[in-house]
Amino acid sequence: MFKDKNLLVLSHTYNSFIKDPVEILAKDFKKIYVLVRYQPIAELGNIIPLHMFSSRKKFSKRYSIDLRNKPENVEVILVPLWYLPFKPFYKFVGWSHARGVLKILKREKIDFDLIHAHFAWSAGYAGMKVKEKYNKNLVITGHGEDIYAMPFWNNSWKGRIKEVLNSADESLTVSNYTKEFYKKIGVRNEPKVFFNGFNEKIFGKVNKQESRNKLGYPKNKKIILTIGNLEKIKGYDVLIESLKIVKEKRKDFLCIHIGAGSEEKKIRHLTRKYGLEKNVKLLGRKPHHELRNWYGICDFFVSPSLFETGPVVMFESLACGRGFVGTKVGAAPDVVNSEDYGKLSTPGDAAELAKNILWGLEKSWDTDKISEYSRQFSWTKTVEEIVKIYSKFLCS
């Protein structure tokens, strides 16, 4: 569609919810340049076991950059930013990000026709400065903490984020929940909501027994899956409390967790404290492209998040035909709107989550119906709508 046009994408990572839509968009553009904010200090998290470094590990290249099967016309360029990972220093990251991007654009003589920045801070700020210098249209997608948390740290941050979002020619966001915060920030234009999605090349209906045979899990065991960073905001301490309640009712379940994070030691301690060692298995991180069979082994997926915007795991689990037992956060209430697809509880309420998990263990899930329902949330569908936004600027 835009075969003579180049797209500039500014982001904090190149995996999952950035990588998937970009690589679908690649067929519509002559070239897509993805400039990814990169923290060299994060590499220390792979070798130094101190919390201030290990907490940065998820931002290292190993976990935040995925170049597998990248189309030839997508070029990923790292923008190194040096800063200490503490809140007071974060206000300087926007300026550093913008300076790094502008330097690379000049050095590499990159020609582009449209800018799409993901996250208001700091990629959005960098996008605003690129727009000012090159006079190109700017699209900004607000994803999460950049919209519902950061602007409310203080008035200075609110003004900073408001300025960035008001600089966009089009604003997008990933849930009706985050959309409401644009009004609170005072952004002039109402953003359009585009839910996150799933990659159809990786995720789709999968046979439970085939997956269990492949990964070596018993056929008749009730298995629950959860995937996410072991961080406070993800609510895994609440999940462990919920499983303690579940075990009082029935013991024939196994909850598998994929991911890692700063709360891992605490979660392992709670697992031992509540006698859940045989019911909870922490497997660490797994490559994104290998997750389909992990979704495949479970009876349903559980997410205990305290805050979330457009949880990609929700779309992926539904795509694999697995129900979603989660919390009323972000886009979840918009998507899980029937008990055919799952149930949602109040964030932080261990008793309610336990009740829903017990319900899920008893339910006969219709995997065909769930998978069919999920198709509307594929990245292909989402990208079709994003292309319509781009057309306003590239086809005029």
pLDDT tens figures, 49-84 = 544 444 445 555 666 789 999 999 999 999 998 876
Percent with pLDDT over 70 in the chain: 93
pLDDT reported for residue 49: 52
**Per the domain annotation, does 157 fall within a domain?**
yes
Say yes or no: 173 and 278 in one domain.
no
What pLDDT, on a 0 to 100 scale, did the predictor assign at position 52?
A: 45
Q: What is the mean pLDDT of residues 365-371?
A: 98
- Is residue 1 over pLDDT 80? no
Residues 228 and 318 both lie in one domain: yes
Same domain, 22 and 93: yes
Co-location of 234 and 173 in the same domain? no
229 and 369 in a single domain? The answer is yes
Task: Let me know whether 35 and 172 are in one domain.
Answer: yes
- The answer to whether residue 44 scores a pLDDT higher than 60 is no
Q: For residue 340, is it within any domain?
A: yes
Residues 192 and 235 both lie in one domain? no
Residues 233-271: pLDDT tens digits? 999 999 999 999 999 999 999 999 999 998 999 999 999
pLDDT tens string 81-128: 887 666 777 888 999 999 999 999 999 999 999 999 999 999 999 999
Which pTM does this prediction carry?
0.87
Residue 117 lies in a domain: yes
- How many domains, the chain? 2
Q: Note whether residue 202 is domain-resident.
A: no
70 domain-assigned: yes
Average pLDDT value over all residues in the chain: 92
Average pLDDT over every residue of 226-235 = 95
Specify whether 21 is located in the same domain as 89: yes
The mean pLDDT value for 297-321 works out to 95
Domain span including residue 264:
208-377
> Are residue 235 and residue 330 in the same domain, yes or no?
yes
Pair (178, 213) in one structural domain: no
Q: What mean pLDDT do residues 325-329 have?
A: 96
pLDDT of residue 15: 87
Give the per-residue pLDDT at 88: 76
Same-domain pairing of 191 and 259: no
Same domain, 383 and 331: no
CATH number of the domain that residue 294 is part of: 3.40.50.2000
pLDDT value for 90: 85
Mapping DSSP onto H, E and C, the string for the chain reads CEEEEEEEEEECCECHHHHHHHHHHHHHEEEEEEEEEECHHHHHHHCCCCHHHHCCHHHCHHHHECCCCCCCCEEEEEEECCCCCCHHHHCCHHHHHHHHHHHHHHHCCCCCCEEEEECHHHHHHHHHHHHHHHCCEEEEEECCHHHHCHHHCCHHHHHHHHHHHHCCCEEEECCHHHHHHHHHHCCCCCCEECCCCECCCCCCCCCHHHHHHHHCCCCCCEEEEEECCCCHHHCHHHHHHHHHHHHHHCCCEEEEEECCCCCHHHHHHHHHHCCCCCCEEECCCCCHHHHHHHHHHCCEEECCCCCCCCCHHHHHHHHCCCEEEEECCCCHHHHCCCCCCEEEECCCCHHHHHHHHHHHHHCCCCHHHHHHHHHHHEHHHHHHHHHHHHHHHHCC
Instruction: Specify if 203 maps to a domain.
Output: no
